[in-house]
Amino acid sequence: MLSNFAKIIFVSTSLAPLLISLSISLENINLLTRILLICFSIILFLLAKNTLNEIKKSGEIEPIKIKKLKTADHEVVAYLVTYLVPFLANISIENAFIIYTIIFISIYNSNAYHFNPLIGLLKYHFYEIETNTNISYILVTRKEIRNIKNIQNISHITEYLVIDKEI
């Protein structure tokens, strides 16, 4: 389990589109800064993709029995507001950095980092699951689950974020 490293990667990746929004909306930045913001967003996306692939490939396999399952893909819509914030006001790069940091800390501490639109672009889906032992997790999988018995093994990404582990 990667835990803190994975949390930082997923929070950063969930906010990568905000960096792209900032690169477009900020008026008083030079072209190099715009390009760096976009490149940093792409690097974060690739890092999250590689992290998921690595955990899926070599993460510790843990059997799981799911009692309840509920789709959580719709939670991604909440991030759209965050991505649009830079277009609503003319803010400086310094204020943008402060806003980004506050949002980053809030998402990190609220464990809301798993609702990640960029991961959705990789065709992953998010599900809230509850195990037979009454522990709740967010499951990341490429499957569209219609039967909870189709998920039998997982790997932990963080303490309460897991990925479907097909074997």
Q: Which amino acid is at 5?
A: F
Question: What DSSP line would sit under 99-117, residue for residue?
Answer: HHHHHHHHHHHHT-TT--H
Question: What DSSP line would sit under 1-18, residue for residue?
Answer: --THHHHHHHHHHHTHHH
- In this predicted structure, what is the pLDDT of residue 160? 83
Which residue in the block uniquely carries the two structure tokens 């499957």?
Answer: 143
The average pLDDT across 91-119 equals: 75
Given a cut of 90, whether residue 35 has pLDDT beyond it is: yes
Given a cut of 90, whether residue 126 has pLDDT beyond it is: no
Confidence bin at 80 (pLDDT 50/70/90) = low
Report the distance separating Cα 109 and Cα 153, nearest Å: 27
Q: Parallel, antiparallel, or unpaired for β 161-164 and 136-141?
A: parallel
Confidence bin at 130 (pLDDT 50/70/90) = very high
Q: Which amino acid is at 31?
A: L
Confidence bin at 63 (pLDDT 50/70/90) = very high
The average pLDDT across 112-139 equals: 83
Give the chain's mean pLDDT: 81
